[in-house]
Every structure is written in C-alpha cells, then in structure tokens.
Homo-oligomer: A and B are copies of this chain.
Amino acid sequence: MSDTPLSPPDETPEALDQFYRQSRPIDLASWLSQLPVDQAWHHLAALPLPRQAQTFGALPVNDQTALAAVIPTPDLSAIVALMSADDRVDLFQSLGPIAQKRLIETLPPEVSRDIEQLALYAEETAGAIMTSDYAVLDAAMTAQEAIGALRGQASSSETIYRSYVVDQMGRLIGSVRLHSLILAEQDAQVCDLMEHDPVSVSIDTDQEEVAQRIARYDLLAIPVIDDAARLVGIVTHDDASDVMQAEATEDFQKISHVLPFKQNMRQAGIGMLYSRRIIWLALLVVGNLFSGAGIAHFEDMILAYVSLVFFLPLLIDSSGNAGSQSATLMVRALATGDVQMKDWRALLLRELAVAAALGATMAAVVFPIGAWRGGTDVAVTVGLTMFVVVMIGSLVGMSLPFLLSRLRLDPATASGPLVTTISDATGVVIYFSIATLILQL
C-alpha cells in the first residue's frame, strides 16, 4: 500500500475531497472519531451514501451512538439501511428507547424486522454476532441456476463465496463454494456439488467457541442453526477474529486484576479506569489481613531473628510469581482450547514435577544468601520455605483455573487475585512455622 495519509493535509475543499476519495472507510472512520461529533457529521455528510454507510459502520459503536444523536433521522435511516446486518443491530442496541423507536419507524419494514429479530439473542452468543447477509440455494438447482440466483441475492459482502443449501423446512443440509459452481458443468446439480453436513453452531453457542471453531476449520464463515436445525444466520471470519481479540484482551485484564471493560484503551476515561482497577486492589487488602495476622502471630520470632524479615518479600513474591506463571499458562491454554477439563489429572502430575524442579532450584539460589545473612539455620529455613511455597504457588495457580471452570466461572476472573492472596497467606504461615521448628529446637 502506498501509505495514504491518515488525515487530510489541510482543510481546503480540494484536499478534503481528495482525502474523502482516496481513504479507505476504516481510515476515514479513524480520522472522524477524533473530531467533535458535529464536525464528524459535516464531513460524513459530504460522502456519497454507500461510502457514508461503510465509514459509519467502521466506527466504534460508542462513536456511532454519539454521532447518531446529531444526524437527522432521514439521513441516519438511509445510512443504517445500508449497514451490514450485524453492525446495525449493535448500533440499535446501544441507542436509547426513543432513538430506537424513531429509527425503527423510519427504516424500510424488512430492515426493521431484521433488526428486531437479531436483537433478541443473548449477548456474547452466536446469535448476537451473526449476520443475516448470506446466500441460500436449493439443492435441486443446477450450477447455472445457482449462479443466476446468487447474482440476484448478491450483496457487496464477501459472504457470497460460500452459499448454504437448505431443505423445504429451511434446515441446513449443505454448503457450496462459488468456486465449485463456476468450475462445474452448467447442468450439474447443487446437491452433487455441495459439501454435506457443514460445520455449524447453535444460536446460543458462546461467541468464544464460535471463534475457536472458525479458526479450527479455517472457515470464511460458520452457519448458525436454531433448535430445529434451521439456518438462521452466519458468523463471518472477520467478526470471529474481532471476538478472539476482544476475549484475549478481557483475559489480559482479568489476570492482571482489572475488571474487564470493552472501551478502547486510548479513549477510556479516568473514572472508568479507576472503578475497574480499585475493586481487586482493595479486596486484596482484605486478603492481606490474613498474612498480616500470620506475621503478628510470630512477633516474638521476628524480634529474635530479625533477619527473617529480610526474606519475607522474596519468599512471598516467588510463590506469587510461580503461581501466576502456572495460572496464566492454564488460563490461556483453556481459552484457546489447547487444554481441556479432561486433561486436568495429567497436567497436575506434570505440574508437580515442574514445580518441584523450580522449587529446588529456587531453594538452592536462596540458600547461600540465607547463610550469609543469618547463618546455617536461617539458610535452611529460607531454603526449605522457598521449596514449599513455590510448589504450593504453582499447584494452586495451575489448579484454580480448572476449579473455576468446573464451577462454571471464568477461569481468568479470579485466578490472578486468588492466587496472590492464597500464596501470600500460606507463604507467611509456612515460613514462620518452619522457622519455629528449625530455629527454636
């Protein structure tokens, strides 16, 4: 790509006009989203209608919502009618009830019906991310008839490259590639060209599983069927890829103790970020009361061997770090489908071996430092504690995501904070218990 500018060089009519014509919708959208809404609409209104709809559709939903408030209803209605079926539902659902009503009343009836239908499905399911833009063929058509039918149905979407074949009841029975239709003899029948039993998902399949399936089978789109096996929509690869990115971002937030949010990080507000971050930080204070209580219990020991305090942050950090290593690896492997619930037992055995090796190495590293600071007894105490807490941190970190998964909770949600709290509290108690045994014999 000869890199096109991402904003117009100046505001002369010529420069703007050239920029409008040369830029891709997503690039225009990026530029518009940095402008005040009334200016953004001013520029958007200068585009031909199909390009208006493409550009508007490429904006993030919260920008679309803000813009929708300043666009006159007839213009908005014209834009929405041209947007892709899944994008316009997302916009519709973000509007207030009055704006929704006004839009529904001014849109062509078939578009309104389509929106109301798609808006029914639960969030984060196949139903919520699917589109009704897809091509349907009859099994009895010839290749030539099928191509003719596609010409009629053809929207501008990429989804024409695979058509779906349904029976009289509307049930999905096959799929056929445009490619196969073109290469076939003109009178070959669709039922002989189609692939039977295509990979599909149900309306209520979780969006993450939809995305995993599209990736696993390298699909352009996956058909969505209802309880009666009737074809009701498709989810396209680009939406699936957005879902995967969003789900990964959510997991990143969760494992680093942030409540998930969907806003773009650049646009996120101070209040929102504060509220998403403070909860776990404050809850961790409660968790720390346990380790604090442990320390208070061993006050006399600390006064007698103050060098023990020297190792406290190290031991607690090591346990927490080993735990977060294990937890993150498992959370990610469960999210990508690399690992499943049934693998738990085998993975636990492996984790035992890895954790023992890690613990032994860490003990060996910390032993000489202990000897230097506090003599042999302290070295033995610190080394032994290190071995035990790294083992415990790893095993807890590895097991917790499975346990949460089994309880139908998101493995990422509490893994991070819980691992930290558990490894902290047990770390302190184990440390001073071992110290009591060794130093006060």
Contacts and interface: CB of A to CB of B under 8 A. Distances in A.
Interface string A324-348: 1101111111001011000100010
Contacts of A303: 303, 306
Contacts of A199: 1, 24
Interface stretch (A8-16, A106-114, A119-127, A288-296): A288-296
A273 B354 contact: yes
A193 interface: no
A47 interface: no
Contacts of A318: 281, 284-285
| Among A198, A252, A285, A331: residue with most chain B CB under 10 A | A252
19 contacts: A24-B217, A150-B182, A151-B183, A178-B182, A220-B220, A253-B328, A253-B332, A256-B327, A256-B328, A265-B333, A266-B339, A274-B357, A278-B358, A282-B362, A288-B314, A291-B313, A291-B314, A302-B309, A312-B313
A358 B154 contact: no
Nearest to A212: B245
Nearest to A295: B310
A88 interface: no
Interface in A253-312: 253, 255-258, 264-266, 270, 273-274, 277-278, 280-282, 284-285, 288-289, 291-292, 295-296, 299, 302-303, 306-307, 309-312
A285 to B, nearest CB: 5
A333 B257 CA distance: 16
A190 interface: no
A145 interface: no
A238 B182 CA distance: 24
Interface in A156-170: 158, 160-161
**Copies of the polypeptide in the assembly:** 2
A78 to B, nearest CB: 22
Nearest to A343: B266
A95 interface: no
Interface string A132-174: 0000000000000001001100100010110000000000000
A101 interface: no
B200 A1 contact: yes
A155 B104 CA distance: 46
A82 interface: no
Contact of A265 (B200, B281, B332): B332
Minimum-distance CB pairs A-B, first 4: A256-B328, A265-B333, A288-B314, A218-B238
Nearest to A346: B266
B362 A281 contact: yes
Given A257-B321, A303-B303, 12 more contacts: A147-B182, A215-B238, A249-B332, A258-B329, A266-B339, A270-B353, A281-B325, A302-B302, A312-B312, A313-B424, A316-B317, A317-B420
A369 interface: yes
Contacts of A338: 264-266
A373 interface: yes
| Among A26, A201, A266, A322: residue with most chain B CB under 10 A | A266
A257 B339 contact: no
A358 B329 CA distance: 29
Contact of A361 (B154, B255, B273, B282): B282
A251 B335 CA distance: 14
A37 interface: no
B350 A270 contact: yes
Nearest to A296: B310
A434 B336 CA distance: 46
B321 A284 contact: yes
